[in-house]
């Protein structure tokens, strides 16, 4: 495909080309309270404007986005503008148009540590919309630059980190990133850095039978474990309710488990508090990025109260109050992101979240 044949969205969200290597986030006047580090692959996503499966002989039109669960969380958190929050995304990119596009898209919105390499290309994703309303994703990511990320690339940024965010996508990319994930979460555990593990199971890159033992090994290292009820059924297949999954996983990690239920909201269990929050009716367009928006909304509200460590160490009553507020914000973000195409394009601001909650008679849960 020729990149010049694709249509872009609003100018503020356009992907443009440049040769930047590292894009530091502008320093805010508010002193840093929390530093969140994440690492993984970000791709250029071609979201088809035509209906039907991917066809390499079709020129489009496509809408072009920056897509990657880990960088999505950083961008979504930036949108929510949490005072004193710094996010750092670590990866590698190809020295190609897609790599340039990703750097430009992330510039100024998160601290980016993603050198461009000649030997490996940037990943590409294709999103196709079927006649029945379903969405099919396909990838061109084998041997990508991000699949060569090692623990040594991540370690320098963990020294003063307050939280580490990882997904179940990264260990599936290559043996190198598999090892990087485990070395990183072990290091975080040994250095008292809370780990947020969002399953993000991706059927195109591995089977449930391959993913489950890896997730089982990662789970005990997590301080916050997030999984969709549908993901849990696909990967573990225990035929349990969302609450039963939350309780079962919590017995393993001993901290906080969140099970999302699509349009029905989410449930959280920390061993003492079981908190449920319903979903919100919206004009549904595209579910891509909903899980990332959800966890970003949840973390944003936690970070407004302090650090993840302080939240986890708080009394049961205080944790419950924060959980209730955080789940409310998370569900708003997860819902509203589905009202437009793109991974982060419809992410609400803190003010928009507050207005939405107020309109739904939940102003006590506003950010």
The answer to whether 199 and 235 are in contact (CB under 8 A) is yes
Residue 35 has pLDDT above 90, yes or no: yes
pLDDT grade, residue 364 (50/70/90)? Answer: very low
Predicted local distance difference test score (pLDDT) of residue 4:
28
The superfamily (CATH) of domain 3-365 is: Ribokinase (3.40.1190.20)
pLDDT reported for residue 362: 62
pLDDT value at 329 more than 50: yes
Say if CB 198 and CB 291 are below 8 A apart: yes
- Which residues touch 338 (CB under 8 Å, ≥6 apart)? 282, 284, 285, 286, 287, 290, 346
The tokens for 241 are: 């309710």
Tokens for 170, please give them: 């990264």
Given a cut of 90, is residue 194 above it in pLDDT?
yes
CA–CA separation, 120 and 123 (whole Å): 9
Q: Which residues does 99 contact at the CB level (< 8 Å), separation at least 6?
A: 93, 116, 122, 145
Q: Which residues of 310-346 are buried (b: 16+ CB within 10 A; e: fewer)?
A: ebeeeeeeebbebbbbbbbbbbbbbbbbbebbbbbbb
Report, as an integer, the average pLDDT of 250-261: 98
Does the pLDDT value for residue 14 go beyond 60?
Answer: no
Given a contact cutoff of 8 angstroms between Cβ atoms, the answer to whether 243 and 269 are in contact is: yes
Give the pLDDT band (50/70/90) at residue 34: confident
Q: At which residue do the structure tokens 């995304």 appear? A: 89
Q: Are 116 and 42 in contact (CB under 8 A)?
A: no
Mean pLDDT for the chain overall: 89
């Amino acid at each position: 495909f020729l990149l010049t044949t694709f249509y872009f969205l609003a100018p503020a969200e356009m992907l443009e080309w440049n040769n930047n290597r590292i894009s530091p986030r502008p320093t805010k006047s508010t002193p840093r309270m929390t530093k969140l580090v994440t690492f993984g692959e970000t791709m250029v996503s071609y979201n088809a404007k035509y209906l039907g499966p991917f066809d390499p002989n079709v020129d489009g039109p496509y809408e072009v986005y920056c897509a990657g669960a880990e960088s999505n969380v950083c961008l979504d958190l930036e949108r929510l503008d949490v005072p004193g929050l710094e996010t750092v995304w670590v990866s590698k990119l190809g020295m190609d148009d897609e790599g340039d596009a990703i750097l430009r898209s992330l510039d100024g919105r998160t601290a980016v540590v993603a050198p461009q390499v000649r030997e490996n290309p940037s990943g590409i994703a294709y999103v196709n919309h079927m006649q029945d309303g379903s969405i099919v994703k396909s990838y061109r990511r084998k041997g990508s630059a991000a699949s060569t990320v090692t623990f040594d690339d991540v370690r320098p940024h963990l020294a003063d980190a307050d939280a580490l965010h990882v997904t179940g996508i990264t260990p599936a990319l290559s043996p190198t990133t598999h090892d990087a994930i485990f070395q990183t979460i072990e290091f975080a555990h040994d250095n008292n850095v809370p780990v947020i593990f969002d399953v993000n199971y991706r059927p195109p890159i591995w089977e449930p039978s391959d993913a489950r033992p890896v997730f089982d090994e990662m789970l005990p290292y997590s301080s916050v474990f997030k999984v969709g009820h549908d993901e849990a059924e696909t990967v573990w297949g225990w035929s349990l309710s969302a609450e039963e999954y939350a309780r079962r996983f919590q017995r393993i990690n001993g901290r906080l488990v969140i099970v999302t239920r699509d349009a029905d909201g989410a449930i959280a269990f920390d061993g003492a508090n079981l908190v449920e929050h319903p979903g919100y009716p919206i004009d549904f367009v595209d579910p891509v990025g909903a899980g990332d928006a959800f966890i970003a909304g949840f973390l944003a509200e936690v970070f407004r109260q302090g650090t993840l460590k302080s939240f986890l160490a708080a009394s049961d009553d205080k944790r419950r109050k924060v959980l209730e507020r955080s789940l409310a914000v998370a569900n708003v973000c997860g819902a509203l992101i589905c009202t437009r195409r793109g991974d982060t394009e419809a992410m609400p601001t803190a003010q928009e979240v507050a207005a939405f909650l107020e309109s739904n008679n939940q102003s006590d849960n506003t950010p």
